[in-house]
């Protein structure tokens, strides 16, 4: 049944309910279906707030994160004007100098603040499961990769088209830890998507299931995991995370965020920015993806 955290109606971009045996699994639904759940600044900070409240609730043993409507998440809401929350950046941080020029360290600081939200999701003391359907691309793929477990519809699309001209992937940098080097490089250098089935085959996700079975099978997986208490699961998660953190996940994600900021200043990125400024978002996406012949249905990054 639905569960309210904090004052009623505080979340405009999220839905929260409880599922599983005795409601021991919390489910957070990204709820901007008209935007394919694109990550606005407001959604990200509501997500951050909700995770903190759920982490403090001992009756919650695991958290499922899913999207409403046709997609899990189609990325950051880059249709927001630059400097006002676009590209996963913080609106309040000054990014322009006195002549109105963008500054690398301003962009970098803003991006690191968003990375803090992703890394909290990675490290919180609850088991987390990303339930993917439709698109999980760009920032949406980055978010899913920070969950402990990822399940997807067999026809879901996971990838990072933003690599084709808008910097690099931040938390998607964990791909080398979960898939082989050759395939990780291929996905980075092309920005190509893979289906849920392909993602399972290469170890990017845990399971790919038929779309009409996703709800029941995801809850069943969460229910199986949550036979143990929340505190015991937290210790087991921390133990596993420490292995990967000692392999460099924190330093790699931070470094990747720095390079994402630097990537905004390449020749290719400037062409993307100019095309978007002159022709709008759809024109920029058409310029970016025409040579690859994909992502034609994706309205967000």
Nearest to 131 by CA among 114, 156, 163, 106: 156
Decide if 69 contacts 33 (C-beta within 8 A): yes
What tokens does 98 get? Answer: 């006195």
Q: Are 125 and 239 in contact (CB under 8 A)?
A: no
Evaluated on CA atoms 150, 15, 301, 299, the torsion sign reads positive
For residues 41 and 73, what is the distance between their CA atoms, to the nearest angstrom?
Answer: 14
Q: How far apart are CA 170 and CA 255, in angstroms?
A: 8
Per-residue pLDDT of the chain (301 residues; tens, 9 = 90+): 344 554 556 799 999 999 999 999 999 999 999 999 999 999 999 999 999 999 999 999 999 999 999 999 999 997 754 444 445 554 445 567 777 777 788 888 888 888 899 999 999 999 999 999 999 999 999 999 999 999 999 999 999 988 887 777 776 668 888 899 999 999 999 999 999 999 999 999 999 999 999 999 999 999 999 999 999 999 999 999 999 888 878 788 888 888 888 888 888 888 888 998 899 888 888 888 888 888 764 444 4
CB environment 264-295: b (16+ within 10 A), e (fewer): beeeebeebbebbeeeeeeebbebbbeeeebb
Residues in a beta bridge with 194: 158
- The pLDDT, as a whole number, for residue 300 is 46
pLDDT recorded at residue 282: 85
Question: pTM (2 decimals)?
Answer: 0.85
b/e for 7-20, b at 16 or more Cβ within 10 A? Answer: eeeebebbebebbb
Distance in angstroms (rounded) separating the CA atoms of residues 287 and 97? 29
**14-289 is a CATH 3.90.226.10 domain:** yes
User: Looking at residue 126, what is its pLDDT?
Assistant: 98
Instruction: Taking the CA atoms of 43, 297, 152 and 176 in sequence, report the sign of the dihedral they define.
Output: negative
> How many other C-beta atoms can be found within 10 angstroms of the C-beta atom of residue 4?
11
Quick one: pLDDT at residue 297?
45
Which residues fall within 8 angstroms of residue 155, CB to CB, at 6 or more apart? Answer: 195, 196, 197, 211
Phi, psi values for residue 213, rounded to 5°: -105, -5
DSSP 8-state secondary structure symbol assigned to residue 100: S
Say what the pLDDT of residue 89 is.
Answer: 52
* Cβ-count burial 64-100 (b if 16+ within 10 Å, e if not): bbbbbbebbbbbbbbebebbebbbbbbeeeebeeeee
Tokens of 139: 């920032």
- In angstroms, rounded to a whole number, what is the distance separating the alpha carbons of residues 204 and 208? 10
């Amino acid at each position: 049944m639905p569960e309210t955290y904090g004052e009623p109606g505080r979340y405009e971009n999220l839905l929260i309910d409880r599922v599983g045996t005795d409601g021991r699994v919390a489910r957070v639904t990204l709820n901007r279906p008209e935007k394919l759940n694109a990550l606005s600044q407001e959604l990200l900070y509501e997500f951050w707030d909700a995770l903190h409240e759920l982490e403090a609730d001992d009756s919650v043993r695991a958290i499922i994160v899913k999207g409403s409507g046709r997609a899990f998440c189609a990325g950051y809401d880059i249709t927001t004007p630059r400097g006002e929350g676009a590209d996963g950046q913080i609106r309040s941080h000054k990014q322009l100098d006195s002549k109105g020029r963008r500054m690398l360290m301003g962009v970098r600081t803003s991006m690191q603040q968003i990375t803090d939200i992703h890394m909290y999701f990675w490290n919180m003391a609850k088991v987390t499961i990303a339930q993917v359907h439709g698109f999980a691309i760009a920032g949406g793929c980055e978010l899913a990769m920070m969950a402990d477990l990822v399940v997807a519809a067999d026809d879901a699309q996971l990838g990072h088209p933003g690599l084709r001209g808008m910097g690099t992937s931040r938390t998607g940098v964990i791909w080398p830890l979960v898939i082989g080097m050759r395939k990780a490089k291929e996905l980075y250098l092309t920005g190509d998507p893979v289906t849920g089935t392909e993602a399972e085959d290469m170890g990017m996700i845990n399971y790919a299931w038929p779309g009409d079975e996703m709800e029941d099978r995801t809850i069943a997986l969460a229910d199986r995991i949550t036979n143990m208490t929340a505190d015991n699961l937290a210790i087991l998660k921390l133990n596993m995370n420490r292995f990967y953190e000692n392999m460099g996940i924190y330093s790699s994600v931070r470094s990747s965020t720095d390079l994402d900021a630097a990537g905004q200043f390449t020749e290719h990125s400037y062409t993307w920015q100019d095309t978007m400024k002159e022709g709008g978002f759809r024109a920029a996406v058409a310029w970016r993806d025409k040579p690859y012949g994909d992502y034609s249905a994706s309205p967000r990054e």
